[in-house]
Structure 1
């Protein structure tokens, strides 16, 4: 996370002051003197107040940076989802076109089947009117039979 340089500088400055004052207190304590320096206490209190003032700003900056990162992550995710939705829409359109095409083919095949049935009925009626002529179905069967069966049939007729 990025922290502005001026905040880092203030924190380093506060740490230096605390170190110096702690060293001064340690020196005074070690020398056996029990001198209380009012100015030193005031400086410590000022540093503590400065630290308390800077801490919320630092926390809010960290919060801002993390929320900004979450926003960017969500934006990327939204972009990916948008791409997927567009891809699915294209696939849906393609499938609808194929469905329409299959329906057309089905209707055409159904119409052809009905037409074929009508032709077969007409052929049966024509063949029933002329008793000596074989029906269209018989002629079709005769045409596609194998020659060996044809020979056997011819032999059985004689």
Structure 2
């Protein structure tokens, strides 16, 4: 069973709730790190918690959601071993998995509509890493982390 860790701020709360419910109904195991309302919060802790679940092996993938998804992606990428990709279209969702072996998806709830968000998530989760020349590049990303 695939486990997905979620983290969102107030702007991403409603989309997070929708996706948590939808993916849970599809049989995915869910870890919800919050937030738990539309009350204004700072996103870094929620997104880092989702990313840590991926890093630590508690989750296979993470999904972080905010207004634009940009800050959420940045927060998740601060966690060593995480490759978070901001994907507000289908092309970037597919490429993030095929070429970058992204393990955390970031989505902007104020950028994409509900239907597109569902398609992005579905495509991201269904796409396998292509490997080959891309594996070498992903390994180089890991080497860069060793510098810090």
The TM-score normalised by the length of structure 2 is 0.17
Q: Which has the larger radius of gyration?
A: 1
Greater helix share, 1 or 2? 1
The TM-score normalised by the length of structure 1 is 0.16
The structure showing larger relative contact order (alpha-carbon pairs under 8 Å, at least 6 residues apart) is 2
